[in-house]
Amino acid sequence: MENISPLIKYFIGQGVPLDTVILLLMLPIVVTLIAFFRQVIGIKAFGIYTPAIVTFAFLAVPQLRYGVLIFVVVILVGMLMRFALKGLRILYLPRVAITLSIIAFSILILLSFGGSMRRTGLAAVSIFPILIMITIVEKFVAAQIEKGNRAAVILAVETLVISLVGYFLASWPLLIKGIVAFPWLILITIPINIFLGKWDGLRLNEYFRFREVLKNLK
Amino acid sequence: MFEIFKNGNRLLGMNARNLDYIRPYNRKKAKRLADDKILSKRMLKKGGIPVPKLLAKIRTVEELESFDWFSLPNTFALKPNRGYGGGGILVVYGKKKTFKCVSPDGIETLPDPVWIKSDGSRVTVSDLKSHILNILDGAFSLANMPDIAFFEERLTLLKLFKPYSYKGIPDIRVIVFNRIPVMAMLRLPTKESGGKANLQQGGIGVGIDLASGVTTTAVLGKGKIIDYVPGTRMLLSGIKIPYWKDILLLAVKSQEISGMGFLGADVAIDRERGPVFLEINARPGLAIQVANLSGLKERLERIKGLKIKTAVRGVRVGRDLFGGEVEEEVEEISGRKVIGTIEKVKLIGKEGIEIEIEAKIDTGAMSTSIDSELAKNLGYGDVIDFFEKIEFPRDFKREDAGKVEVELKKNYAGKHPDLADISIVYSSSGVTIRPKIKMQFKLDEVEIITLVNVVDREELKYSMIIGKRNLGKFLIDVNK
């Protein structure tokens, strides 16, 4: 790297790996992005934690498509489990526990299947991103119960979209170079968030939601 | 494009609702009260607001196990105390008949009761138990907090609403801010919403004119504008909500009691009890804007900071500011009654004969005329017979009509006690010479004594038309 800020040099000198420094400095940008999506565009996703953690899970898998594949499988199995467990009439936590277990088995099968197809990249995905993505199913099940299946699937898709945008942003070489060169720039996210927190205009999707009303207002 | 963003400023979005209204005006304590249905019900009741009767509540699993299922009536609603968006509500409409079982050794046992849901499916005690367990576990509460389940009286459906709603009870949502009702909608349950009135669940929202309490435009679910109840020809606009003023007053009073500055009040109308307050909502949804095709933000901003002393005054301000033209008001200001183009008229004939008919209000006619048959029924047969015997000049020119009329008047008017006058009338059907008689009739409670001309109107739809000369005290609304 040609242009490294003295601050970053200091961190590295203290033994903090460069990747860790970059990821930690990337976090404010990713969460600001999520806040922007919620307040200005109106894409909700599962709160702020889930899309952020999925973004970093994507960053941690060797190939993005395997990350997306695991995410989709987790949500699909979560959806199927709702119907499978419907007749059982059991309480929330045991239900989530069973769902998590079945998802763990499914991912195991998926990984071994990938291995048999000689897609070694899939089996090489490290355990932590996998675990992170399995645990998001709790958010999904909770959304299913509270808001219904359709709404839960929409939220899951929104989470995937935000996480993908976050992924591409966080792996954008120019941005990484910029952070390494000028780490103080990260502080801009704070005034941006103050602005977002005071933004009381219509969200972009509300222009769509209220289109009939807008047509009617003269 | 720019226009859209400018108009967007008049609508209340999620951001503005949370940041500018809920945050500053609804304090945490008040919000907690609104989210606790049992507690808020008790508070409202204390404040003199009619609420549905609480039948029983279940706080713990132990209470659930020892609950006496026979104590429940045939019909009730089971609700989570901290539910939101209509989730977790179970309503039963009747009890299945159960018979005593007698075992071979003579011990009588009564099987557990079974209820019926709106879709005809059965609800057993074990169904109720598992539903209540889910409620206690927090499956329907905000942030999945452990919750309380309660049984509540089910309200009975008003006849007026019957053709419009599927199974459940419609309710009226009123947004109240600063003691002023700001916007209102009627929420109708549909098949899709499973008999629940929440728009999130697929119900219908119908905008209501704040001044008159008459419905305007309607939305199905989250954003589909509709004119009719789906699958029927029931028009959704023009429904007059009964007890309108009382409903608005209840909504404003609930705001005073709750201590919140901005809220959604849900009021239902029970067939026997009249308006019954359902619940207060600290985070009212925004779909009411679609139902009314109107923006909340501009209305809220107009009344920010107004000092309103009493609920009655707040209701009046809301109706004046945000309602359409009110008929009563028009009548008050102009001192004239508003009538339609067809009105009921009570004719007062000889010897106290009274006949009520529908008359056409005809501003194209100068004077009022009635059918000769009708005049005979009113006791004017004698004068009509007298008039028919008179020989009239025929085929006179129009220029001469005036002269002929004067002549006729001189010769015949007053010759019979009831024959007040004679006139020559040019109408679409030609020229006629008509007798005029003095008569009294009542139109919209206003008594009118006038000369009416008598003519054969047998072929015509209305046996009476009321002309300009008698309409001075009225305003005519062609939509009425």
DSSP string, B316-329: HHHHHHHS---HHH
DSSP string, B356-389: EEEEEE-TT-SS-EEEHHHHIIIIIHHHHHHHHH
CA distance B70 to chain A (A): 23
Q: Is residue B326 predicted with pLDDT exceeding 60?
A: no
Spatial contact of B181 and B292, defined as CB atoms under 8 Å apart: no
For residues B180 and B253, membership in a common domain is answered with yes
Confidence of residue B34 (pLDDT cuts 50, 70, 90): confident
CA distance B85 to chain A (A): 9
Domain membership flag for residue A47: yes
What is the reported pLDDT for A154? 93
What is the reported pLDDT for B181? 96
* B198 close contact with A: CB closer than 8 A: no
Helical ranges in B169-322 per DSSP H: 244-258, 288-292, 296-303, 311-322
Residues 56-85 of chain A whose Cβ lies under 8 A from any Cβ of chain B: none
For residues B105 and B163, membership in a common domain is answered with no
Q: Which residues of chain B are within 8 Å of residue A201 when distances are taken between CB atoms?
A: 8-9, 13, 15-16
Helical ranges in B177-326 per DSSP H: 244-258, 288-292, 296-303, 311-322
Q: Please, what is the end-to-end C-alpha distance for chain A in angstroms?
A: 57
How many domains is chain A partitioned into structurally?
A: 1
Q: Which residues of chain A are within 8 Å of residue B293 when distances are taken between CB atoms?
A: 212-213, 216
Spatial contact of B355 and B378, defined as CB atoms under 8 Å apart: yes
Spatial contact of B32 and B282, defined as CB atoms under 8 Å apart: no
What CATH code is carried by the domain that includes residue B390?
2.40.70.10
Q: What is the mean pLDDT of residues A23-51?
A: 93
Domain membership flag for residue B331: no
Task: Give the DSSP letter of residue A139.
Answer: H
For residues B191 and B122, membership in a common domain is answered with no
* A212 close contact with B: CB closer than 8 A: yes
Q: What is the mean pLDDT of residues B203-212?
A: 92
Q: How far is CA B400 from CA B171, B348, B396, B453, in A?
A: 68, 36, 6, 21
Domain membership flag for residue A127: yes
For residues B127 and B185, membership in a common domain is answered with no
Domain membership flag for residue A51: yes
Contact between A198 and B19 using a beta-carbon 8 Å cutoff: yes
Residue to substitute from B2, B15, B288, B293, interface A, most A β-carbons within 10 A: B15
Spatial contact of B358 and B343, defined as CB atoms under 8 Å apart: yes
Contact between B7 and A214 using a beta-carbon 8 Å cutoff: yes
Out of B134, B154, B174, pick the residue that ends a domain.
B154
Confidence of residue B333 (pLDDT cuts 50, 70, 90): low
Element (H, E) at B58: strand B54-58
Residue to substitute from B1, B2, B4, B7, interface A, most A β-carbons within 10 A: B7
Residue to substitute from A85, A150, A200, interface B, most B β-carbons within 10 A: A200
Domain membership flag for residue B91: yes
* B138 close contact with A: CB closer than 8 A: yes
Spatial contact of B460 and B368, defined as CB atoms under 8 Å apart: no
Q: Which residues of chain A are within 8 Å of residue B138 when distances are taken between CB atoms?
A: 92
Residue reference for tokens 């119908």: B206
CA B207 – CA B218 distance, rounded (Å): 6
* A202 close contact with B: CB closer than 8 A: yes
Chain B residue with the nearest C-alpha to that of A91: B134
* B139 close contact with A: CB closer than 8 A: yes
Question: Which is nearest to B358 in space by CA: B335, B382, B376, B340?
Answer: B340
* A198 close contact with B: CB closer than 8 A: yes
Out of B324, B355, B372, pick the residue that ends a domain.
B324
Select from A42, A91, A210 the Cβ nearest to the Cβ of B290: A210
What is the reported pLDDT for B195? 66
Select from B4, B134, B295 the Cβ nearest to the Cβ of A207: B4
CA B368 – CA B375 distance, rounded (Å): 13
For residues B162 and B38, membership in a common domain is answered with yes
CA B290 – CA B268 distance, rounded (Å): 21
Question: Which is nearest to B154 in space by CA: B118, B127, B198?
Answer: B118
CA B316 – CA B285 distance, rounded (Å): 24
* B193 close contact with A: CB closer than 8 A: no
Identify any residues that bridge with B173 across adjacent strands, giving them in sequence order.
B185, B266
Tens digits of residue pLDDT in B389-443: 887 777 777 777 778 888 888 877 777 888 888 888 777 667 788 888 888 888 8
Tens digits of residue pLDDT in A133-154: 888 898 898 888 777 788 899 9
Spatial contact of B278 and B170, defined as CB atoms under 8 Å apart: no
Q: Is residue B1 predicted with pLDDT exceeding 80?
A: no
Q: How far is CA B195 from CA B91, B269, B282, in A?
A: 9, 16, 23
Tens digits of residue pLDDT in A68-106: 999 999 999 999 988 888 777 777 788 889 999 999 999
Chain-centroid distance of CA A180 in Å reads 24
CA B204 – CA B223 distance, rounded (Å): 10
For residues B45 and B57, membership in a common domain is answered with no
What is the reported pLDDT for B172? 95
Residue reference for tokens 């419609």: B170
Q: What is the mean pLDDT of residues B56-62?
A: 90
Q: What is the mean pLDDT of residues B19-35?
A: 86
Spatial contact of B376 and B398, defined as CB atoms under 8 Å apart: no
Question: What long-range pairs does B434-440 form, CB within 8 A, spacing at least 24?
Answer: B434/B369, B435/B383, B435/B384, B435/B387, B437/B375, B437/B380, B437/B383, B439/B347, B439/B348, B439/B349, B439/B370, B439/B378, B440/B347, B440/B348
Q: Which residues of chain B are within 8 Å of residue A142 when distances are taken between CB atoms?
A: 144
Chain B residue with the nearest C-alpha to that of A213: B293
Domain membership flag for residue A191: yes
For residues B265 and B409, membership in a common domain is answered with no
Token pair of B27, please?
């304090």
Q: Is residue B185 predicted with pLDDT exceeding 60?
A: yes
Q: Which residues of chain B are within 8 Å of residue A202 when distances are taken between CB atoms?
A: 8-9, 11, 13, 15-16
For residues B162 and B129, membership in a common domain is answered with no
Contact between A201 and B9 using a beta-carbon 8 Å cutoff: yes
Confidence of residue B378 (pLDDT cuts 50, 70, 90): confident
Task: Give the DSSP letter of residue A37.
Answer: I
Contact between B13 and A213 using a beta-carbon 8 Å cutoff: no
What is the reported pLDDT for B329? 55
Select from A91, A199, A217 the Cβ nearest to the Cβ of B295: A217
Chain A residue with the nearest C-alpha to that of B296: A213
Average pLDDT, chain B: 85
Residues 265-324 of chain B whose Cβ lies under 8 A from any Cβ of chain A: 286, 289-290, 293-295
Q: Is residue A40 predicted with pLDDT exceeding 90?
A: yes
CA B52 – CA B176 distance, rounded (Å): 21
Question: Which is nearest to B325 in space by CA: B425, B172, B404, B214?
Answer: B214
Contact between A92 and B134 using a beta-carbon 8 Å cutoff: yes
CA B316 – CA B468 distance, rounded (Å): 35
Q: What is the mean pLDDT of residues B97-119?
A: 76
CA distance B55 to chain A (A): 26
Q: Is residue B330 predicted with pLDDT exceeding 70?
A: no
* A91 close contact with B: CB closer than 8 A: yes
Chain A residue with the nearest C-alpha to that of B286: A210
CA A211 – CA B11 distance, rounded (Å): 11
Q: Which residues of chain B are within 8 Å of residue A216 when distances are taken between CB atoms?
A: 293-294
Residue reference for tokens 């059907």: B429
Spatial contact of B181 and B300, defined as CB atoms under 8 Å apart: no
For residues B42 and B58, membership in a common domain is answered with no
What is the reported pLDDT for B180? 95
Token pair of B409, please?
């008047």
Domain membership flag for residue A69: yes
Select from B10, B15, B289 the Cβ nearest to the Cβ of A203: B15
User: In 3-state terms, what secondary structure has residue B125?
Assistant: helix
Tens digits of residue pLDDT in A149-174: 888 999 999 999 999 999 999 999 99
Contact between A146 and B4 using a beta-carbon 8 Å cutoff: no
What CATH code is carried by the domain that includes residue B212?
3.30.470.20
Spatial contact of B170 and B183, defined as CB atoms under 8 Å apart: no
What is the reported pLDDT for B327? 57
Domain carrying residue A78: 6-216
* A213 close contact with B: CB closer than 8 A: yes
Task: Give the DSSP letter of residue B110.
Answer: P
Identify how many contiguous H helices and E strands chain A contains and give both numbers: 13, 0
Q: Which residues of chain B are within 8 Å of residue A212 when distances are taken between CB atoms?
A: 219, 223, 225, 290, 293
Domain membership flag for residue A1: no
For residues B111 and B169, membership in a common domain is answered with no
What angle is formed at CA B176 by the lines to CA B251 and CA A41, rounded to 5 degrees? Answer: 135
Residue to substitute from A145, A202, A203, A212, interface B, most B β-carbons within 10 A: A202
Q: What is the mean pLDDT of residues B225-233?
A: 87
* A200 close contact with B: CB closer than 8 A: yes
What is the reported pLDDT for A2? 64
Report the greatest alpha carbon distance in chain B. 111
How many domains is chain B partitioned into structurally?
A: 3
Select from B19, B144, B290 the Cβ nearest to the Cβ of A142: B144
Tens digits of residue pLDDT in B172-181: 999 999 999 9
Select from A200, A214, A216 the Cβ nearest to the Cβ of B4: A214
Select from A146, A200, A212 the Cβ nearest to the Cβ of B16: A200
> What ipTM did this prediction achieve?
0.81
* Exposure b/e, B292-305, CB count within 10 A at least 16 = b: bbbbbbebbeebee
* A201 close contact with B: CB closer than 8 A: yes
Confidence of residue B297 (pLDDT cuts 50, 70, 90): very high
Q: Is residue A3 predicted with pLDDT exceeding 60?
A: yes
Q: What is the mean pLDDT of residues B295-302?
A: 93
For residues B306 and B185, membership in a common domain is answered with yes
For residues B196 and B315, membership in a common domain is answered with yes
DSSP string, A65-114: HHHHHHHHHHHHHHHHHHHHHHTT---HHHHHHHHHHHHHHHHHHHHHHH
Domain carrying residue B92: 53-154
